Amino acid sequence: MKAHTKETQAAMTPEKSLQALKEGNLRFQQSLKADRNLLEQVNDTKSGQFPFATILSCIDSRVSSELIFDQGIGDIFSVRIAGNFVNEDILGSMEFACKLAGTRLIVVLGHTSCGAVKGACDDAKLGNLTGMLGKIKPAVEAVAEPKDTSIRNSSNLSFVNNVAKKNVELTIDNIVKQSEVLADMHNNGEIQIIGGMYDIKDGSVTFYE
């Protein structure tokens, strides 16, 4: 499999881009890999890059977008931050990726058993981590059940995963609200913004379509 060119990137609609990620994740789950020469792709992309998707994911060591979607050099922009939320810098990076570099799809990818989400659920305090976890607190507050505060914490994995899903949804809302550039592209059908959840138990990604 060759690295993407300007021509092949132009042919990747938002729908085709999503399908490519779905097919890549299926290969990953089946321990298969597309036939590609990564060093050849390094050479092919030395004068330019033409990725088709931008993926915002957590820094969790188990959630490498290139691996779980079986993508090669130059295929995707990978944005990583604990808790997969957005701020001004990340939004600027996404605007570059979509408006200037041509990606057609943004995926906000959460994952099960997320440590950042657990920290937000537990109201953890530690240096700069305190402020960072505050960005995830709205998702904790938005999940209504359970009402019993004694089980609204990291010991309740079902609650944690529900918060992780809500965090993905709120992040997508924030992308549209806080970036006029991306909102316009989304509304015009130039890009698609979609959420997903990676299951650390089996390697599968569920997309929220």
Query: Residue range 58-68: average pLDDT?
Result: 97
Does a structural domain hold residue 1? no
Does a structural domain hold residue 139? no
Residues above pLDDT 90, as percent of the chain: 99
Does a structural domain hold residue 43? yes
Does a structural domain hold residue 183? yes
In the chain, the number of structural domains is 1
Residue 183 has what pLDDT? 98
Residue 16 has what pLDDT? 97
**What mean pLDDT, rounded, does the chain reach?**
97
Residue 209 has what pLDDT? 85
Does a structural domain hold residue 125? no
Does a structural domain hold residue 100? yes
Confidence of residue 29 (pLDDT cuts 50, 70, 90): very high
Which CATH number belongs to the domain containing residue 20 in this structure? 3.40.1050.10
Q: pTM of the full predicted structure?
A: 0.96
- Burial readout 30-60 (b: 16 or more C-beta within 10 A, e: otherwise): eeeeeebeeeebeebbeeebbbbbbbbbbeb
DSSP conformational letter for 4:
P
Query: Residue range 65-88: average pLDDT?
Result: 97
Does a structural domain hold residue 73? yes
| pLDDT tens digits, 122-149 | 999 999 999 999 999 999 999 999 999 9
Task: Please tell me the distance from the alpha carbon of residue 203 to that of residue 181, in angstroms, as a whole number.
Answer: 33
- Expressed as residue numbers, the domain containing 27 is 6-113+164-208
Query: Residue range 155-161: average pLDDT?
Result: 97
